[in-house]
């Protein structure tokens, strides 16, 4: 049998043997048998793809198998095979392109101001996109297509049909799937020459710095104030540039925060623009206030442009400038933003040196918590079987008069002062027109009084009407 000489760092896996006899007629067979006999060696002899790792050299006698037939090299019975750690490295990674990549990026490379150099910078860059929704969709599509070499995506949400009017990264087939997974598949389909790392999790004060520090540039595509402040503060504390965009109904904004320009001067950040958040409830998010589907397409594309400019150093990024676009009047304006002495992170007397609880800071949640739900059909089935429920209607009296399903009327605005009327032992089903206000009522009641027995009637009165109609048809 061939003899394999084990290097000292691996002898702990071979019971300190310096040399072991292993059966096999090719190098691949021998390595497989070696891993089988000594499982601790597996990570050293095989990559996840089943290849011989770059960090070992294998010799048959004096000859490197890379100069022979690599894994297929045939060995004889008495051959001596040596495994030797391959030791190499260096400081600066040289970015090279395959022929296919050069052909792919040709229209970039032939722009004189851009050229191969900027394309190399793109390939080498690491960009973290937070949120893969309305803004994240065009942003990710263009960054991947442009050849950003390493893209990270953070999102905890799943694709919903109501996302598809603006989140062009997804299609009907992806409804119900985690957004990051759907995004990765789609982007790999566009550009197989880049790496995409996904984080199917909420971006929070706990994981923010850890995630941000792995990347060169951060692109904020989130839709709520707590996360926006969090992204900003994490970028300032970690010294990363934050390419920011936001949209609401018909208006969008883009800017570049915490950017160090060519002469080393640091630009402003979100805290210079808005030191503290607006009062809770004053500014709704897209889910509450709505958004014109094409607007995130425009603004997210501008955001992608700024990411590419920051990464390549081509052009002047929107640092110290806030660009706003009004889709209705087609007016765009650019305002100047300056660093402020009062900035709590990096003003003249900073007071904040770490991340804080941003939901508390903004007086609102970053993510709507899901409440327990019950389908109309299930409600009636259980009721028919004799289960007891308290049914509460949180709409306004005029709506109640129009149509109701026999619930006790407590309009949303008065729910907290009437909390004592709500049972805390039996199941309580709360409804409104569509299920939105009742969900809000349940969240408030759970937060303040700790109720655990509240169910939101899914689809509200609208669904109840459909249910009644279907029963009539059956009759």
DSSP one-letter string for 336-384: E----TT-TTTSSS----S---HHHHHTS-SSPPPPPEE-HHHHHHHHH
**Of 90 and 386, which has the nearer Cβ to another protein?**
90
Contact stretch for another protein (CB under 8 A) within 49-57, 162-170, 414-422, 440-448: 49-57
91 lies in the binding site for another protein (CB under 8 A): yes
Contact stretch for another protein (CB under 8 A) within 81-89, 163-171, 281-289, 306-314: 81-89
Q: Which backbone phi and psi does 233 adopt, to 5 degrees?
A: -65, -40
Q: How far apart are CA 66 and CA 2, in angstroms?
A: 19
State the minimum distance, in angstroms, from the CB of residue 184 to another protein: 17
200 lies in the binding site for another protein (CB under 8 A): no
Parallel, antiparallel, or unpaired for β 195-199 and 126-130? unpaired
Task: Note if 235 is an active site residue.
Answer: no
State the minimum distance, in angstroms, from the CB of residue 94 to another protein: 8
Residue of 294, 342, 242, 348 whose CA lies nearest to 134: 294
State the minimum distance, in angstroms, from the CB of residue 154 to another protein: 17
Residue of 378, 306, 294 whose CA lies nearest to 330: 294
**Of 49 and 384, which has the nearer Cβ to another protein?**
49
**Of 43 and 414, which has the nearer Cβ to another protein?**
43
282 lies in the binding site for another protein (CB under 8 A): no
State the minimum distance, in angstroms, from the CB of residue 41 to another protein: 11
Q: Is 210 exposed, middle or buried (0-12, 13-18, 19+ CB in 10 A)?
A: exposed
State the minimum distance, in angstroms, from the CB of residue 279 to another protein: 43
Q: How far apart are CA 255 and CA 382, in angstroms?
A: 54
Task: Note if 286 is an active site residue.
Answer: yes
260 lies in the binding site for another protein (CB under 8 A): no
Which of 245, 422, 429, 432 is the catalytic position? 432
Among 3, 29, 59, 462, binds another protein (CB under 8 A): 59
Long-range contacts from 68-74, C-beta under 8 angstroms, 24+ separation:
70/27, 71/26, 71/27, 71/28, 71/31, 72/26, 72/27, 72/28, 73/26, 73/27, 74/25, 74/26
x-or-dash string of contact with another protein, 16-45, rule CB under 8 A: ---------------------------xx-
**Of 92 and 472, which has the nearer Cβ to another protein?**
92
State the minimum distance, in angstroms, from the CB of residue 13 to another protein: 10
Contact stretch for another protein (CB under 8 A) within 80-88, 164-172, 231-239, 266-274: 80-88
**Of 13 and 325, which has the nearer Cβ to another protein?**
13
Q: How far apart are CA 226 and CA 154, in angstroms?
A: 16
54 lies in the binding site for another protein (CB under 8 A): yes
Listed in sequence order, the residues at least 6 apart from 192 whose beta carbon sits closer than 8 Å to its beta carbon are: none
């Amino acid at each position: 049998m061939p003899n394999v000489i084990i290097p000292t760092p691996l002898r702990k896996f071979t019971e300190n043997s310096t040399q072991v006899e292993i059966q096999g007629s090719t190098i691949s067979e021998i390595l497989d048998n070696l891993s089988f006999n000594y499982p601790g060696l597996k990570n050293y002899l095989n990559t996840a793809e089943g290849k011989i790792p770059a960090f070992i050299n294998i010799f048959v006698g004096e000859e490197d198998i890379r100069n022979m037939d690599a894994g297929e090299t045939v060995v004889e019975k008495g051959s001596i095979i040596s495994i030797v750690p391959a030791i190499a490295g260096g400081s600066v990674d040289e970015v090279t392109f395959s022929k296919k990549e050069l052909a792919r990026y040709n229209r970039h490379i032939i722009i004189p101001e851009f050229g191969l150099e900027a394309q190399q910078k793109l390939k080498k860059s690491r960009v973290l996109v937070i949120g893969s929704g309305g803004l994240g969709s065009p942003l990710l599509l263009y960054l991947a297509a442009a050849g950003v070499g390493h893209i990270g995506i953070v999102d905890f949400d799943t694709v919903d049909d109501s996302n598809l009017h603006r989140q062009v990264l997804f299609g009907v087939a992806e409804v119900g799937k985690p957004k990051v997974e759907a995004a990765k598949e789609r982007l790999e389909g566009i550009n197989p020459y880049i790496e995409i790392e996904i984080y199917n999790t909420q971006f929070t004060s706990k994981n923010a710095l850890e995630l941000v520090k792995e990347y060169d540039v951060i692109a904020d595509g989130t839709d709520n104030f707590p996360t926006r402040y969090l992204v900003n503060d994490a970028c300032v504390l970690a010294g990363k540039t934050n390419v920011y965009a936001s949209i609401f109904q018909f208006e969008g904004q883009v800017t570049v925060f915490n950017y160090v320009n060519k002469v080393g001067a640091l630009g402003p950040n979100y805290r210079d623009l808005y030191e503290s958040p607006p009062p809770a409830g004053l500014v709704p998010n897209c889910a509450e206030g709505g958004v014109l589907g094409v607007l995130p397409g425009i603004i997210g594309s501008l955001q992608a442009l700024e990411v590419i400019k920051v990464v390549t150093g081509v052009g002047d990024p929107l640092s110290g400038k806030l660009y706003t676009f009004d889709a209705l009047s087609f007016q765009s304006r650019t305002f100047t933003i300056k660093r402020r002495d009062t900035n709590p992170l990096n003003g003249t007397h900073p007071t904040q040196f770490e991340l804080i609880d941003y939901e508390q800071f903004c007086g609102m949640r970053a993510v709507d918590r899901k409440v327990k739900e019950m389908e109309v059909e299930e409600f009636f089935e259980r009721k028919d079987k004799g289960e007891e429920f308290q049914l509460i209607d949180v709409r306004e009296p005029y709506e109640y008069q129009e149509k109701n399903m026999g619930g006790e009327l407590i309009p949303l605005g008065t729910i907290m002062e009437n909390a004592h009327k709500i049972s805390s032992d039996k199941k309580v089903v709360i409804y409104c027109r569509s299920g939105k206000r009742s969900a809000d009522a349940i969240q408030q009641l759970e937060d303040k009084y700790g109720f655990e027995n509240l169910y939101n009637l899914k689809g509200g009165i609208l669904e109840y009407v459909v249910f009644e109609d279907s029963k009539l048809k059956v009759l």
